[in-house]
Structure 1
Amino acid sequence: MPAQPGDQEPQTGSAEKSTNATFNTAEDALSLARSRAKTGFDRSIITYAAWVLRWRWAALIFCILVAVAAASGARHLGFTSDYRVFFGDDNPQLLTYEALQRTYSKDDNVSFVLKPDNGQVFSPDFLTALRDLTDEAWQVPYSTRVDSITNYQHSFADGDDLTVQDLVGANLELNPAEIQNIRTVALGEPLLVDKVISGDAQTTSVNVTITLPQKSEDETAEVMAYANQMAEKFRAAHPNVKLVMTGVIPLNNAFNQSAKSDLRTLIPAMYGVILLVMVVLIRSATGTFTALLVIGLSVVTAMGVGGYMGIKLTPPSAIAPNVILTIAVADSVHLLVTMLREMRKGASKNAAIVESLRVNFGPVFLTSLTTVIGFLSLNFSDAPPFHDLGNISSIGVAAAWLYSILLLPALISILPVKVKSGQGGAEKAAGMDQLANFVIDNRKPVLIVMTLIVVGLGAMIPRIELNDQFVKYFDTSLEFRADTDFATEHLSGVYQVNWSLPSGDSGGISDPGYLAKAEAFSRWLKTQGGVAHVQSLTDTFKRLNMNMHGDDPAFYKLPEERDLAAQYLLLFELSLPYGLDLNNQINVDKSAMRVIVTTDDISTNQLRTLEYAAAAWLETNFPEGKTEASSPFVMFAYISQRNIIGMLTGTVTAFILISLSLMFALRNFRLGVISLVPNLVPIVMAFGIWSIFVGEVGLASSVVTATSLGIIVDATVHFLSKYQRGRRDRNEDAEGAVRYAFSTVGTALWVTSAILVAGFGVLAFSTFRINEDMGLLTAIAIAVALIADFLLLPTLLLTVDKGRKQRGEANIGAPQIATKAAE
């Protein structure tokens, strides 16, 4: 049973006076607050407020100790630089790709792409430099293979013998005749053109295959450090050659770089935005300082607990501090705005603190709860980094609530607060009154216009296209993105797709029937839009057959006998040097071969179309060779779809829990149902606006709905809370309650919304597009949510709740009417 108004009053007052002589307004504060209390919950919060004011130093020390203890876990935080962390252990595309890598050699690589300024790849100086770089590339840590045009294993007939040797051997004299021969061979070899050497002979590459032991998080950094050192050395020696690096290892490193870059830049920027907005809108140095302390402690608490949980930071989880900073400040703003408004009206500081806690404790708790539910729903995501983002953010939001209702009032009661009763507050109140009058006087037109806008924007959503090109995850300011764009433009795309074609028996890849179907599949792939290059062992078989017939071009075709094909392959393999075998193309027992497609800069929708078409072709023409496409590009092409499926469950769960929380807290089923509309409408409007101005979303889209739902509900909760107080405590009709809500919480809502929009808007400067999209989408959702709460929600309340009386309202007597008028 809640404490009654007089239960603790004498003890509280005497204790306060004996504890601190300057604490002489506490009794007045409690007396004023208790006179306004209408429910047992209010009286319980007043008792809690008295406890905080009495034990303010103890509360302050307790909060700091909690933050310090939690923050110590930050030493366990680390960064992971493996793109595979974006895929759950049961992700089917990941499992298929890992099976492929167990069958063949791994595809992790660093690719040096080189373009001479004079456009002459086939010149003595450049070929010598390229050969030296190729030789040095074998020294890259964990390298297992190096491929370039210089060490390409060129096979040709030498009488009755098959000769296999480097195309640009170490002892080869690079005279004009030899260079012309090298050029002819390189540009005539399907395995090289548009893969290792561009068709215009102006750009080439040195590809280093890396096999990481995966025993340390530092392996990628070690490879990149050596590769960067090689690149700088080459650039210094050959300033007339453009050299860039791309590949899977640089991709992994880019994830790491992006996460660290966001931590270095976005958090200070967010602090600056919050400081600026709060100084302008709160106009209280003490309030601003206290709010910054609250959000700072919330961040270190969350990150420290994340460290204890063993979380490794990735670009999505690295923005958790920004998310916490943005959301945590909203709690402080609501408490501060109410407190400062009371002080401007003449209340003492302690009275203002108690009153602020009385009217805000419930809504702040509820909004924190719904936000936590929204972020915890990210655990339904198929991408583990979003689990980490959700969990860290949830911890931070919970910590922000604790510090807001404990540390903030305790610290405010200790620090001096200067408030000018001012025109600014009156002007803001007048502005909210005018808005309230506009909505009330024009309720029907406003409701109709808002409905048409929502329906119109909702109709635009199907136009949005899903696209997850992992290269475009990164901002062009990152070296990996710029280098990869250069490589794609001048040599070949970096997106690859693999098919492992089984033959059904050991040595079956030498079967003429199998080879004919594999060759037909390769030819079909070359005709598909967006395909830049197809690597197939059938080209090697055709070349070997020609070699074994005196290099007669008429025999550039597949062998017609299985034994003959097997002998050719064996002879060729025995001629290959260490590190340049065929393990990247055939499995151990020669029962399957790999076909590798390199695509242009196509969208993931185009890739899925290619994969579906390939599956249909194999089903019809090569049923025994039916297999699934796999590669990192394929994995990322399906990540949005899989995430959307997972997050549908998470979003529905969050929506149900949030709705039940609202209905329970409001204790009014009708208001609970009404609250659902302004909570869902902003999501529809945000994606509708996005479809008009962007038209394309990726992985971020699958999580924005759930996270936004927990955030945008905050304004609805605060507005409905004040509306309900107007109806219940002041016995107002619907119009009066709407005016009361606008006047009491309107300013705080647009202040907190401005901070939230600015905070998530800062993510637009992230070097990681997923973070950028998520920040911008969330900022749009919050902005339109404020519009919905100021225009749509009041008109719904005026329409649905019109004429309804609160319980006991019909029995208001003269004393109650007089009291209401006095208030």
Structure 2
Amino acid sequence: MGSYFRKVDDWAASLTRWVIAYKWIVLLLAILLAGVIGSGAKYLEFSTNYRVFFSKANPELQAFEHLQNTYTKNDNFLFVVAPKDGVVFNAEILTAIEELTEEAWKIPYAIRVDSITNFQHTYAIEDDLIVEDLVESAADQNSTYFDERKNVALNEPLLNSQLVSQDGKVTAVNVVLQYPEKKLTEVPEAVEVARKLKADLEAANPNVEVYLTGVSMLNNAFAETGMKDAGSLMPLMFLVIFILCWLIVRSVSATFTILIIITLSTMLAMGFAGFTGIKLTPIAMSAPIVILTLAVADSIHILITLRTLMRDGMEKIDALVEAVRINFLAVTITSLTTIVGFLALNFSDSPPYWHLGNMTAVGIAGAWLYSITLLPALLSFLPFKIKNDHKKEWSVKLMDNLAESVINNNKKYLIGSSIIALLLIAAIPTLKFNDQWVQYFDESIEFRRDSDKALDHFGLYPIEFSVPAIEAGGISEPEYLNNLENFANFLRSQPHVTHVYSFTDIMKRLNRNMHADNDEFYRIPTDRDLSAQYLLLYELSLPYGLDLNDRVNIDKSATRITATVSQTTSEETKAFFADVEQWQQENWPQYMLSKPTSAAVMFTYISERNMDNMVTGTILAVVAIGFIMMFALQSVRLGLLSFIPNGLPILTTFGAWALLVGEVGFSVATVASISLGIIVDDTVHFLSKYVRARNEKGLDIEDSIRYAFHNVGVAIVVNTVILAIGFVVMTTSAFKMNVDLGLMTLLAIIFALLLDFLLLPTLLLLGKKSAKEEENENEEVMIDTTIEPSKS
């Protein structure tokens, strides 16, 4: 055995003996470490802003924030009011809308409320422009009045399909908010009031159903989903681990030890998050689940070896030292490579994945430290008895039989597994990106249910354009207004566009009003000064809170046009953007060109942006892990060889997902790094036992493969089962990105097991001659040796 491996083994054995000798000190230090770092958890807070999913360097976020700094923000609540009888324009419903509109102003941080009742309806009386609420004192009006108001609403471009459905059977109230962003309770405070308004409206009007959606509800849903998962998934995960560990090691004390280790490791991660100011999101909150799953691995390997040694008659203390010695190098390499994989998430364009990676890395480091110190310290005095039995367990026999099958049929396994892997990989190009933030949540979340109902009547995904004029005041220029009107008409002609809010609709209405409401003048004014006068007169007539600041910038050098789209895929949305860009290039002067922006735009591009960034991170992680393997195993060949069984499971996973699902969201980009850090474990443990057999035992390649299967095969299967079940638990999350992450990682774990058992040994056998070929070579050598003297 090489001096390198001997030194590592001797150090591990000495460490374990020291730990056992000073077990009470080790126990105290372990608890103290977790207590001090874990105290940072008191600083943890849930994020209530979807912008946390985008880094500050994200260009789509920067463009959106610029738009919101120019106009009013669009954080909102949308109350969708659906009368069961389908009649909106009557005294009962419009009175309810009037009351809701008035009460909505009392929602904390509300700066604007728009509804069909307070819509600023304009008309002319001789030379006077009259601006008033579309509906006033609904309770006192008659059916003729309501028919007139319905006719106005359905013929008003700014209302139809925006605040009243095309058939006039559903209406909506939109509340715009501007949060100071000084405390994390701002969104929950506003949501609480909005939900009460919804409940009160439904209670007072049994004939009405109300659906509450909007950006503020989206923000709140992220926080509520994270808390929901924390309250359900973590207890479930603890229960699953307890049952699995007890079934595997059949020891209450060993199971208790594992639970202590994973608990302390999780405390370290959460405390680290608190001290570093990490804001919790549904993604970051999956870190404890991942840690609980992965932290078991090191302990299980040591415990299974411990059981085997004690079954063979070794005393517990000696067996503990030997179990740590045998597994120390492997668990150290696996922990290090897992940490590297998760740290690669820092290349993501989405900060919550940075947080997931960093928190998990700290937890894995803690699990490694506790598995080589706290585990032997606790088990040295806790009861752990194994009956002496030199019979092979059925699971070990199964591994031995599998080893023989792979060795004897290595070419068949090599060709078969390679063909299947290549066929799956060939399906990867068919994957399509798709991110729709409503569908990030399952139907157990109120926001998802209400948003789905709202989408039956209105679009929910606004696409914003800030269109510049040539100079200050230039929005009154007829050329500008005509170009803007043409663009609005183009947008209305596009599939999936449900509504377009354009400044030109206001100007056309004013032009008609100022010409005695003659419909022939429902067009863009032909004179700039006249347009500016109309606009000034209109603005002076608008009440507080309903001005044009959300449509026109301060110096009137740009206006905002909004196209609201229905539920579309990311590919459809990008095709829409391409058509918009082409239309602008062909029809607009250069100074008017503008790019789309909004939350919908940000989520549309996040998948590809995340994927592009994570390719770099994953490649660096793969290279780093390869060098770690080369150094740790003292073999460049084995380190290079490990790239194949480590990389193929990720690629085959994407291929299988393409065939099974066909679509991926932005979370998929992180699967490669997360899976890489996990699936390397199987390869490390198999190769470390293989190297030990070659160096320490002096075995040939085939016997070394048999040794690896015999000594670590069961542990690899057991860890795969634990990991698989752990990520199955993650698929019960209410957050779709966690579900996808759990399912894809589950596939990667299964593929890793199959490839490490069926492909890796055949790669090790490549270049090795068969016994018959070696026998023929030996005969040729003997013949040459016999003939040589006669030649001389």
TM category (shorter chain) comes to over 0.9
Q: Given that residues 299 and 321 in structure 1 are in contact (C-alpha distance below 8 angstroms), is that contact kept between their aligned partners in structure 2?
A: yes
**Of 535, 539, 552, which residue of structure 1 is paired with 2:505?**
539
Could you say which residue in structure 2 is the equivalent of 1:505? 471
Q: Secondary structure in 1 aligned to 2:313?
A: coil
**Of 221, 228, 233, which residue of structure 2 is paired with 1:266?**
233
**Of 446, 449, 458, which residue of structure 2 is paired with 1:492?**
458
Instruction: Give, as a single letter, the amino acid of the residue that structure 1 aligns with 2:376.
Output: P
**Of 420, 441, 446, which residue of structure 1 is paired with 2:408?**
441
Q: Given that residues 244 and 487 in structure 1 are in contact (C-alpha distance below 8 angstroms), is that contact kept between their aligned partners in structure 2?
A: yes
Shift, 1:41, TM fit:
2.1
Instruction: Give, as a single letter, the amino acid of the residue that structure 1 aligns with 2:125.
Output: D
Q: How does 1:263-412 map to 2 (within 5 A)?
A: 263-412=230-379
Q: Given that residues 328 and 372 in structure 2 are in contact (C-alpha distance below 8 angstroms), is that contact kept between their aligned partners in structure 1?
A: yes
Q: Given that residues 262 and 292 in structure 2 are in contact (C-alpha distance below 8 angstroms), is that contact kept between their aligned partners in structure 1?
A: yes
Could you say which residue in structure 1 is the equivalent of 2:633? 666
Distance 2:175 2:441 in 1: 23
Distance 2:708 2:655 in 1: 29
Distance 1:588 1:425 in 2: 82
Could you say which residue in structure 2 is the equivalent of 1:525? 491
**Of 542, 556, 579, which residue of structure 2 is paired with 1:613?**
579
Shift, 1:46, TM fit:
1.6
Distance 2:463 2:392 in 1: 62
1:728-781: CA deviations, max 9, x gaps?
111211111111000000000000011011111111111111111111111110
Instruction: Give, as a single letter, the amino acid of the residue that structure 2 aligns with 1:570.
Output: L
Q: Secondary structure in 2 aligned to 1:468?
A: coil
Could you say which residue in structure 2 is the equivalent of 1:204? 171
Is there any run of 5+ residues in structure 1 with no aligned partner, and where? Answer: 5-36, 805-823
Q: Given that residues 109 and 210 in structure 1 are in contact (C-alpha distance below 8 angstroms), is that contact kept between their aligned partners in structure 2?
A: yes
Q: Given that residues 378 and 390 in structure 1 are in contact (C-alpha distance below 8 angstroms), is that contact kept between their aligned partners in structure 2?
A: yes
Could you say which residue in structure 2 is the equivalent of 1:794? 761
Q: How does 1:423-822 map to 2 (within 5 A)?
A: 426-489=393-456, 491-622=457-588, 623-800=590-767
Could you say which residue in structure 2 is the equivalent of 1:162? 129
1:74-126: CA deviations, max 9, x gaps?
11111110111111111111111111011111101111111011111111111
- TM-score for the superposition, normalised by structure 1: 0.92
1:491-521: CA deviations, max 9, x gaps?
2121010001101211111111111110111
Instruction: Give, as a single letter, the amino acid of the residue that structure 2 aligns with 1:678.
Output: P
Shift, 1:73, TM fit:
1.0
Q: Given that residues 341 and 425 in structure 1 are in contact (C-alpha distance below 8 angstroms), is that contact kept between their aligned partners in structure 2?
A: no
Distance 1:67 1:435 in 2: 42
Distance 1:38 1:368 in 2: 18
Paired residue total: 770
1:216-274: CA deviations, max 9, x gaps?
11100110111111111112111221011101110100010011111111111111221
Shift, 1:420, TM fit:
3.0
Q: Does 1:87 align with 2:54?
A: yes
- TM-score for the superposition, normalised by structure 2: 0.95
Shift, 1:159, TM fit:
2.0
Q: In the superposition, relative to structure 1, how do residues 550 and 329 fare at CA in structure 2: closer, same or farther (>3 Å)?
A: same
1:2-40: CA deviations, max 9, x gaps?
9x9xxxxxxxxxxxxxxxxxxxxxxxxxxxxxxxx9722
Distance 2:391 2:555 in 1: 82
Q: Secondary structure in 1 aligned to 2:427?
A: helix
Q: Does 1:419 align with 2:386?
A: yes
Q: In the superposition, relative to structure 1, how do residues 171 and 460 fare at CA in structure 2: closer, same or farther (>3 Å)?
A: closer
1:463-507: CA deviations, max 9, x gaps?
111111111111111000111111001x21210100011012111
Q: Secondary structure in 2 aligned to 1:551?
A: coil
Instruction: Give, as a single letter, the amino acid of the residue that structure 2 aligns with 1:787.
Output: L
Distance 2:256 2:483 in 1: 72
Q: Given that residues 493 and 598 in structure 1 are in contact (C-alpha distance below 8 angstroms), is that contact kept between their aligned partners in structure 2?
A: yes
Could you say which residue in structure 2 is the equivalent of 1:76? 43
**Of 5, 18, 31, which residue of structure 2 is paired with 1:51?**
18
Q: Given that residues 734 and 802 in structure 1 are in contact (C-alpha distance below 8 angstroms), is that contact kept between their aligned partners in structure 2?
A: no
Distance 2:218 2:427 in 1: 34
Q: Secondary structure in 1 aligned to 2:132?
A: strand
Shift, 1:803, TM fit:
7.9
Shift, 1:462, TM fit:
0.8
Distance 2:738 2:709 in 1: 34
Distance 2:248 2:22 in 1: 30
Is there any run of 5+ residues in structure 2 with no aligned partner, and where? Answer: 772-792
**Of 189, 201, 226, which residue of structure 2 is paired with 1:234?**
201
Q: Given that residues 43 and 274 in structure 2 are in contact (C-alpha distance below 8 angstroms), is that contact kept between their aligned partners in structure 1?
A: yes
Distance 1:320 1:553 in 2: 62
Shift, 1:281, TM fit:
2.2
Shift, 1:555, TM fit:
1.3
Shift, 1:608, TM fit:
1.5
Distance 2:694 2:37 in 1: 43
Instruction: Give, as a single letter, the amino acid of the residue that structure 2 aligns with 1:147.
Output: D
Q: Secondary structure in 2 aligned to 1:524?
A: helix
Distance 1:187 1:650 in 2: 53
Distance 2:92 2:390 in 1: 78
Q: Given that residues 94 and 138 in structure 2 are in contact (C-alpha distance below 8 angstroms), is that contact kept between their aligned partners in structure 1?
A: no
Q: Secondary structure in 1 aligned to 2:642?
A: helix
Q: Given that residues 71 and 551 in structure 2 are in contact (C-alpha distance below 8 angstroms), is that contact kept between their aligned partners in structure 1?
A: yes
Shift, 1:172, TM fit:
7.5
Instruction: Give, as a single letter, the amino acid of the residue that structure 1 aligns with 2:425.
Output: G
Distance 2:389 2:478 in 1: 91
Q: Secondary structure in 2 aligned to 1:749?
A: helix
- Give the percent of matched residue pairs that are identical in Structure 1 and Structure 2: 47
Q: Given that residues 224 and 250 in structure 1 are in contact (C-alpha distance below 8 angstroms), is that contact kept between their aligned partners in structure 2?
A: yes
Could you say which residue in structure 2 is the equivalent of 1:12? none
Q: Which moved more, 1:270-279 or 1:533-542?
A: 270-279
1:542-565: CA deviations, max 9, x gaps?
111111111111111111111111
Q: Does 1:245 align with 2:245?
A: no
Give me the CA root mean square deviation.
1.6
Distance 1:389 1:239 in 2: 45
Q: Given that residues 312 and 389 in structure 2 are in contact (C-alpha distance below 8 angstroms), is that contact kept between their aligned partners in structure 1?
A: no
Distance 1:423 1:495 in 2: 67
**Of 193, 216, 221, which residue of structure 2 is paired with 1:254?**
221
Q: Secondary structure in 2 aligned to 1:448?
A: helix
Distance 1:264 1:423 in 2: 45
Distance 2:507 2:524 in 1: 6
Distance 2:391 2:584 in 1: 73
Q: Which moved more, 1:532-541 or 1:618-627?
A: 618-627
Instruction: Give, as a single letter, the amino acid of the residue that structure 2 aligns with 1:664.
Output: F
Q: Secondary structure in 1 aligned to 2:426?
A: helix
Shift, 1:165, TM fit:
0.6
Q: Given that residues 91 and 139 in structure 2 are in contact (C-alpha distance below 8 angstroms), is that contact kept between their aligned partners in structure 1?
A: no
Q: Given that residues 284 and 419 in structure 1 are in contact (C-alpha distance below 8 angstroms), is that contact kept between their aligned partners in structure 2?
A: no
1:355-399: CA deviations, max 9, x gaps?
111110001000000011111111111111111111110000000
Shift, 1:575, TM fit:
1.1
**Of 122, 131, 136, which residue of structure 1 is paired with 2:98?**
131
